[in-house]
Amino acid sequence: MDHLGIDKFHVLGHSRGGAVAMRMYLDFKDRVKSIILADPGIRTKSQLTEGLAGRREALQFILDGEIEKGAEKFVDLVSGAGTYKKMVPWFKEMVLDNIHTLNVQKSEPPFLIEKENLENIDKEVPITIIGGEHSPKPFPTIVRDLHDMWPSSKLHIIGPSSHGMNLAVPHKFNELIIEHIESMQKV
C-alpha cells in the first residue's frame, strides 16, 4: 500500500483471500481500518482434512493435464455439486486461467482459527462476515465460528447464493461492502 500512498485501508478477503486478509491484519494492525470476510478460507485444526481428498484429486487432474476436469472438481467442491457446468463462459475462462494457483497454494501454511491469535479482534477493528446461503461445508461452520468468536462483528448471509455470492448476487454483495465502509466513515 505504501507504493500507492495509502496509509490506512479496509481489507476484504473472499475464500483464500480471507486468509490473506487475516494475515494482513495481524501484520499491519495499525494500518487496517476494518476487515470484511466472505466465506473465508480459514479453518479450525479439525477442519483441515475436510475436503482434502477432493482438493488433492482436483490438483492431480490439473498436474496430469486434465485442466478442465480439475477445475470442475475444485469449483464443485467449494461451490456445490454441478456448479461448474452451470457457470457462464467468461467465468469458466477466468477459473481456467487461474487454476494452476492450486499447485502453489498447497505449500502455503493454513490460516487457523485459534483463540490465541484471533480472540477479541472484533474489539480492535470493525469486522463484517458474509456467507453464502447455500455454501457447502465447511464455510457455514467457519462463518458461524468466527461470528461466535467475534460477537461485535456483523454477520450477513446472502441468498440465494453459494460460495460465489459476489458473482451470484453482486448487487447484494456490493451493497454490504458499501454499507460496511460507509459505517466506518460515520465513526
Q: What is the pLDDT of residue 107?
A: 85
Task: Quote the mean pLDDT of the chain.
Answer: 93
pLDDT < 50 stretches in the chain = none
CB of 58 closer than 8 Å to CB of 77: yes
Q: Domain count for the chain, please give it.
A: 2
Inter-residue contact 131 to 140 (CB < 8 Å): yes
Whole-structure pTM value:
0.89
Say if residue 123 is in the same domain as residue 175. Answer: yes
72 and 120 part of one domain: no
What's the pLDDT at 187? 61
| Domain span holding position 41 | 2-46+112-185
Pair (123, 155) in one structural domain: yes
Domain identity same for 8 and 97: no
